[in-house]
Amino acid sequence: MTPRIRHLVSVDDLSVAEIRELFSVARGFSEDIRAHANLCRGLISASLFFEPSTRTRLSFESSMLRLGGGVLTAAEMTSLSSAKGESLADTVRVVSGAYADLVVLRHPSEGAARLAAETASVPVINAGDGSHEHPTQTLCDLYTLWIEKGHIEGLDVVLAGDLRYSRTIHSFVYALARFGANIVCVPHRGFELPEYVVRRLREEYGAEPMRADASELGALAAESDVVYMTPQKPHQLSLFTDSRGLRVGRVDAVYMTRPQTERHGQDNAGELRTYMRLGQESMAAEPLREAVVMHPLPRRDEISSDLDDDPRSIYFKQAARGVPIRMAILALFLGRIQLEARPVEAVPSLFPIRAGTSPCPNPSCISHTEVRHVRQAFKLTSRDPLRAACGYCSQEIPFGLVGCTTTRHFHPLDSPSARKIRPDHLVLFRDLEQATALGFSAATR
Amino acid sequence: MTPRIRHLVSVDDLSVAEIRELFSVARGFSEDIRAHANLCRGLISASLFFEPSTRTRLSFESSMLRLGGGVLTAAEMTSLSSAKGESLADTVRVVSGAYADLVVLRHPSEGAARLAAETASVPVINAGDGSHEHPTQTLCDLYTLWIEKGHIEGLDVVLAGDLRYSRTIHSFVYALARFGANIVCVPHRGFELPEYVVRRLREEYGAEPMRADASELGALAAESDVVYMTPQKPHQLSLFTDSRGLRVGRVDAVYMTRPQTERHGQDNAGELRTYMRLGQESMAAEPLREAVVMHPLPRRDEISSDLDDDPRSIYFKQAARGVPIRMAILALFLGRIQLEARPVEAVPSLFPIRAGTSPCPNPSCISHTEVRHVRQAFKLTSRDPLRAACGYCSQEIPFGLVGCTTTRHFHPLDSPSARKIRPDHLVLFRDLEQATALGFSAATR
Amino acid sequence: MTPRIRHLVSVDDLSVAEIRELFSVARGFSEDIRAHANLCRGLISASLFFEPSTRTRLSFESSMLRLGGGVLTAAEMTSLSSAKGESLADTVRVVSGAYADLVVLRHPSEGAARLAAETASVPVINAGDGSHEHPTQTLCDLYTLWIEKGHIEGLDVVLAGDLRYSRTIHSFVYALARFGANIVCVPHRGFELPEYVVRRLREEYGAEPMRADASELGALAAESDVVYMTPQKPHQLSLFTDSRGLRVGRVDAVYMTRPQTERHGQDNAGELRTYMRLGQESMAAEPLREAVVMHPLPRRDEISSDLDDDPRSIYFKQAARGVPIRMAILALFLGRIQLEARPVEAVPSLFPIRAGTSPCPNPSCISHTEVRHVRQAFKLTSRDPLRAACGYCSQEIPFGLVGCTTTRHFHPLDSPSARKIRPDHLVLFRDLEQATALGFSAATR
């Protein structure tokens, strides 16, 4: 119904080449950030925030104002996605009708931005959808590395703290791998990178986790099992590896995260009393001499203020760089700049869930929290083995059998027939019982 | 005290000719909605919202930004109209002092906009005062009809759903009659148009309710007693009428409304489980073939999403048209465009309530909810029979006797003496007891 | 760390000459308030409001819009200054990084603006920090007097109502003394000017409180013990004084304040039932014939609406003048206008509290309410006698002994040794016990 509009739901909606070019644009803007107030004059962005996030909102709105555009603010929209209220789809359709030329959406449910993009008649920028994606934060982090180090490929980036529950870390780690940086995980004990993140790193970027010898990092890594992952060919690394694991030599950046206490169970309360704290002591080792210290902010106590005046501390600069990079993003999606780089070939297709109830296992996915005007959809993340994820929140969908809407037969996942079903004919079944209840029968052979 | 400033408290503050001209202005704006960013440059509108209404607020603010103006936002002013706080009159006086060049007011009490207009030194636009008026919504609805059909006079417009409690419907129905459209009421059973609305339609526009035969409308009207009202001379219709009532032939528009559950008592809960739902089935009948489907939004379930892609569904366009029509309104009241059409001759005069307590029967009228800086006032809605309404909320005031402040006599309503009293000398008494308590005596003859 | 940036934390951050020049600038702006929309084009102010104050916020934002600048609004920031959240210092550092060119801060804790100014990389304008300072309100009040009377020096200004708890009054009274106006205190009984305010008036401006004979003021002063203070040499006044006290002749302005009920204890509830009410009656006396009536607004019942149409009533004009004076302030601190007047010589130095816990006795001081990134500091308000105040909230610090960080000795306050300690070596002790506990010993002689 709507014309072909580009949205920024995920970092993957931009090609690596586009992102590199955006970095140059942002750097140009930052040279005199007040000199671009005509670029988006006459255009309006609307901040639709279904949960408060003052910092993210102000960063976007500042960027739009610096481009000379106007800003509509709905800072605390009550989540209307309930039996009593309006659907997110309708809200976005109305606001994108004539009110605004671009929507910046923040929502507590994973997948909300994807759903909004489906109905919007203007570009939607995802400003955080639950614990799913926050692409402009990731782009800001990458941009900061690029500005500081001149490149991203081949950098050694330490990720420290709560690597298990931090959305920021997960998005950043994929992006680092995509840009060819090496990842040094220094988790707070018990808060290691989740298995599904490691698997995606391995499958998409060939980055195998290796035990690492971080003894030279001193206090920073003293309490952690350090893991090293590189999207580069592992044989290049073998020289530096011995029985204690890969030697971690020089570090380019330490990216610290706060404990995501709101997502922790009660079990972890004890762990957090001893949560890592970055300070002069933990940054004293020689390999950290030129490592910039990053943090997505807000921080609490995990970075000591004794680091604030250290020239390596760039977390406030990092926050400030959110403005030029968001200016570049807004200008691009509002059509006021054109890039030479080629866009991504194709965004993964979504296929409708054709039978049964939503198989998405994530209770805070928008496909569950929204009661009106939402369809179920999945995307195929792998053909062999067959693997599917929710089309909205990207969580892996568990299924035990598949069916074909044409033949009305079901098949085991590892059967050749299963792999031959066209994705748009594919039905995912939890088990035999569900398959038969939905009227599918076993393939005759 | 303030110079002669025009306010938009009610649709009736604009003449029919002015409204038609505003529609042309709005259509001009909509041709390139981003091309008018100099018209109100240097001017500021203030959104004073004493209850949240994000959609209405964003529509006004977008309109102001598209005109190049600035926007001040108070999205959730606590109602200060209480013993502890500031009067609405004072708030408006301060904001209209130097802060803003125009005030957009939303308030939960009926009559708030009228009160604000009395003290403001800049134009006040009523963006909804309780269940009283919301003129820009009504103008947006009319404008949409005008754009879609090219004219309003003579159109047959179905009003469907909760016709009893919907402010939007009441304002719209008066406006339709004023513009010469015919009204086809298809209420959800038990939610018919209130008697006082019907009476005003009859008295002001000569529109008599007639039983209608809506059998050709199919599912849409199957469950309702359909009533037809036309501001045109009824004898023109007689040809089409038989014992089953007036035949409803071709429908130009179906205006659907949500159930106003917040204003329903508990008794109606049962009714709502079966509330009307507009969908492909109810829009299938031949006379509805060219009927556009309108809805003020937000909708819940009363319009099925299976209508969303139907070309007759224009509810999202309707919402979008709120921007050009509000641009036209803002530009007019800010003095940046002049109309050739003549304004309304005179706004009905308000007369002070000279004795006793406020006779307004509406407990949520601003004359009751505001404790400071509000006067009581009434307007005469009819001389014969004598009828008066609250000057703020427009609700009919019940009274049994009238007095004259000059003679200090009271009179029965239907007496010749009663009709001779000058309105500014008129006192309204509930009953004999009140009249004597206030020191009035029976006329000697 | 940050370059030399000027902030407006207190009225004392501006010299008298600068303030006078700002008044002229503001008057120039007010001649055509819509004609300055290019002065701050391309610049952004951020309203960071940690407690709601719609009126103050709108006044600042209107001023910025009238200057052609952009506005970022955080109208209801949750106070993040808690164990769970981000420090005020960090918040300000981020927002002042690239988001905004100036921060307007409102905060419930005294001293918050000083703390913010310490870390901000752009100017901070204090828009009220608890009951401490609200310099733009004070400047607006002075500006109004100046506009109305042509000068401030030598004016007789009545301050009426709750003089005890009103921050506005305290700031205004110092400013009046600084500009050479005479102060006539007409307090509601029991709500006299606090002792520490009187002492500062005496010590800094030589203004001694004198009993005054206000019988000629009639109803206005009938119930109060009137006190007169003048920053001019008292002997000039002796002629007008007899045993009944100084005669109050002609009054230039009556500044009325609401009862600050939120800061009163329960004891005072009774007093307030009889709170002063300014009206035609209390303004009837001859010496008040040319007295303008001022009020910082919002008012409740302390000014009767029968004064609203009186030409002496200028409280709505006063509110409106908040816009041109704030325009002048914003333009100055944003560097878009330069003044010829010399700035203040030096802002009082802050010295770190070097030992022990914070001695500030004010529980709502930012040095107590903020748990992260706040240092303790004091300023010396007098060398003889030794007196110190909290560097943030300005409340006097009680101490019984002082020590020297070099000698590690402690001394009685009135000893010659005490007075010789360099301020940056000075330690303040509650008592002997604390001094010894912190490892200091008595001076050997």
Distance CA B277, CA B271 (A): 13
| Residue pair B71/B63 in contact by the 8 Å Cβ criterion | no
Least confident of A259-268, B220-229, B344-353, C220-229: A259-268
Question: Looking at residue B172, what is its pLDDT?
Answer: 97
Least confident of A233-242, B285-294, C242-251: A233-242
Helix, strand and coil percent figures for chain A, each rounded to 5: 35, 20, 45
Question: Looking at residue B171, what is its pLDDT?
Answer: 94
Reported as a single tens digit per residue, the pLDDT across B145-202 is: 999 999 999 999 999 999 999 989 999 999 999 999 999 999 998 899 999 999 999 9
pLDDT band at residue B82 using 50, 70 and 90 as cut-offs: very low
Please choose, from the candidates C103, C101, C75, the residue with its C-alpha nearest in 3D space to the C-alpha of residue C89. C103
Structure tokens at A138: 């990731």
Burial profile C154-171: b = 16 or more Cβ within 10 angstroms, e = fewer: ebbbbbbbbbbbbbbbbb
Question: Looking at residue B371, what is its pLDDT?
Answer: 80
Q: How close B237 comes to chain A (CA, Å)?
A: 39
Please choose, from the candidates A169, A156, A160, A145, the residue with its C-alpha nearest in 3D space to the C-alpha of residue A283. A160
Distance CA A385, CA A400 (A): 12
Give the pLDDT mean for C319-346.
Answer: 96
Which residue of chain A is at minimal alpha-carbon distance from C91?
A: A298
| Residue pair A258/A299 in contact by the 8 Å Cβ criterion | yes
| Residue pair A133/A102 in contact by the 8 Å Cβ criterion | no
Choice between C214 and B233, residue whose per-residue pLDDT is larger: C214
Distance CA A359, CA C130 (A): 53
Give the pLDDT mean for A273-296.
Answer: 94
pLDDT band at residue C106 using 50, 70 and 90 as cut-offs: very high
Question: Looking at residue C2, what is its pLDDT?
Answer: 41
Structure tokens at B86: 């500031």
| B contact test, residue of A99, A104, A372 with most B CBs within 10 A | A99
Architecture of the structural domain at A136-315: 3-Layer(aba) Sandwich (3.40)
Q: Is it the case that residue B227 has pLDDT exceeding 50?
A: yes
At a CB cut-off of 8 Å and minimum separation 6, what does C343 contact? C6, C14, C15, C18
List beta partners, residue A439: none
Active site (annotated) includes residue B56: yes
Distance CA C16, CA C142 (A): 11
pLDDT band at residue A267 using 50, 70 and 90 as cut-offs: low
Distance CA B73, CA B64 (A): 12
* Amino acid in position C26: A
Structure tokens at B286: 């031949």
Please choose, from the candidates B381, B441, B445, B440, the residue with its C-alpha nearest in 3D space to the C-alpha of residue B416. B445
| Residue pair C78/C103 in contact by the 8 Å Cβ criterion | no
* Amino acid in position A9: V
Distance CA C31, CA B338 (A): 25
| Residue pair C312/C284 in contact by the 8 Å Cβ criterion | no
Question: Looking at residue C241, what is its pLDDT?
Answer: 60
Q: How close B243 comes to chain A (CA, Å)?
A: 42
B2-B89-B389 Cα angle (round to 5): 90
Question: Looking at residue B83, what is its pLDDT?
Answer: 46
Of all helices (H) and strands (E), which one includes residue A49? Answer: strand A44-49
pLDDT band at residue C222 using 50, 70 and 90 as cut-offs: confident
Q: How close A61 comes to chain C (CA, Å)?
A: 7
Please choose, from the candidates C188, C193, C179, the residue with its C-alpha nearest in 3D space to the C-alpha of residue C223. C188
Chain C residues whose CB is inside 8 A of the B71 CB are 65
Q: Over chain C, what is the mean pLDDT?
A: 90
Structure tokens at C242: 């007899």
Q: Is it the case that residue A177 has pLDDT exceeding 50?
A: yes
Q: Is it the case that residue A80 has pLDDT exceeding 60?
A: no
Please choose, from the candidates C306, C305, C307, C304, the residue with its C-alpha nearest in 3D space to the C-alpha of residue C292. C307
CA A401 centroid distance within chain: 30
Least confident of A31-40, B263-272, C180-189, C254-263: B263-272
Query: Do the interacting molecules here have an ipTM over 0.90?
Result: yes
Question: Looking at residue A314, what is its pLDDT?
Answer: 98
- The upper half-sphere exposure of residue C374, i.e. CA atoms within 13 Å in the direction of its Cβ, equals 30
Chain C residues whose CB is inside 8 A of the B70 CB are 65-66
Chain C residues whose CB is inside 8 A of the A59 CB are 99
pLDDT band at residue A399 using 50, 70 and 90 as cut-offs: very high
Distance CA B328, CA A80 (A): 30
CATH class of C11-134+322-333: alpha beta
Question: Looking at residue B240, what is its pLDDT?
Answer: 58
Phi–psi pair at C156, nearest 5 degrees: -105, 115
Give the pLDDT mean for C49-68.
Answer: 96
Reported as a single tens digit per residue, the pLDDT across A138-166 is: 999 999 999 999 999 999 999 999 999 99
Of all helices (H) and strands (E), which one includes residue B386? Answer: strand B386-390
Question: Looking at residue A83, what is its pLDDT?
Answer: 46
Q: Is A98 close to B299, i.e. CB distance below 8 A?
A: no
Whole-number percent of chain C with pLDDT over 90: 72
Q: Is B62 close to A1, i.e. CB distance below 8 A?
A: no
Burial profile B189-200: b = 16 or more Cβ within 10 angstroms, e = fewer: eebbbeeebbeb
Distance CA A434, CA A440 (A): 9
Choice between B325 and B372, residue whose per-residue pLDDT is larger: B325
Matching CATH number, A351-442, of 3.30.1490.20, 3.40.50.460, 3.40.50.200, 2.30.30.20: 2.30.30.20
pLDDT band at residue B2 using 50, 70 and 90 as cut-offs: very low
Using the structure block, give the residue that is written with the tokens 């009919």.
B396
Question: Looking at residue C177, what is its pLDDT?
Answer: 96
The residue ranges of every structural domain in chain A are: 11-134+322-333, 136-315, 351-442
Q: Is it the case that residue B269 has pLDDT exceeding 80?
A: no
Choose among B58, B299, B324: nearest Cβ to A90.
B299
- The upper half-sphere exposure of residue B431, i.e. CA atoms within 13 Å in the direction of its Cβ, equals 1
Q: Is it the case that residue B242 has pLDDT exceeding 70?
A: no
Give the pLDDT mean for A36-57.
Answer: 95
Question: Looking at residue C83, what is its pLDDT?
Answer: 46
Q: Is C301 close to B372, i.e. CB distance below 8 A?
A: yes
Give the pLDDT mean for B352-380.
Answer: 85
Active site (annotated) includes residue C56: yes
Distance CA C292, CA C313 (A): 6
| Residue pair A335/A42 in contact by the 8 Å Cβ criterion | no
Q: How close B413 comes to chain A (CA, Å)?
A: 47
Distance CA B421, CA C406 (A): 94
Question: Looking at residue A237, what is its pLDDT?
Answer: 56
Burial profile C74-88: b = 16 or more Cβ within 10 angstroms, e = fewer: bbebeebbeeebbbb
Q: Over chain B, what is the mean pLDDT?
A: 90
**Fold match between A11-134+322-333 and A351-442?**
no
Task: Considering the candidates A2, A41, A55, A289, report the single residue annotated as catalytic.
Answer: A55
Chain A residues whose CB is inside 8 A of the C85 CB are 298, 300
CA-to-CA dists, residue C193 to A58, A101, B162, C269, C398, angstroms: 42, 56, 61, 19, 21
Distance CA C278, CA C295 (A): 11
Distance CA B161, CA A347 (A): 43
Most confident of A197-201, A223-227, B309-313, C265-269: B309-313
Using the structure block, give the residue that is written with the tokens 């500005």.
A147
Q: Is it the case that residue C367 has pLDDT exceeding 60?
A: yes
How does DSSP assign C368-394, residue by residue? HH--SS---EEEEEEETTEEEEETTT-
Give the pLDDT mean for B57-61.
Answer: 98
Question: Looking at residue B1, what is its pLDDT?
Answer: 40
Most confident of A134-143, B428-437, C234-243: A134-143
Least confident of A13-22, A113-122, B267-276, C65-74: B267-276
Distance CA C134, CA C130 (A): 9
Distance CA B332, CA B136 (A): 13
Preceding amide of B359 cis, omega within 30: no
Question: Looking at residue C237, what is its pLDDT?
Answer: 56
Q: Is it the case that residue B251 has pLDDT exceeding 80?
A: yes
Q: Is C86 close to A298, i.e. CB distance below 8 A?
A: yes
Reported as a single tens digit per residue, the pLDDT across A298-307 is: 998 999 999 9
Please choose, from the candidates C444, C360, C359, C376, the residue with its C-alpha nearest in 3D space to the C-alpha of residue C410. C444
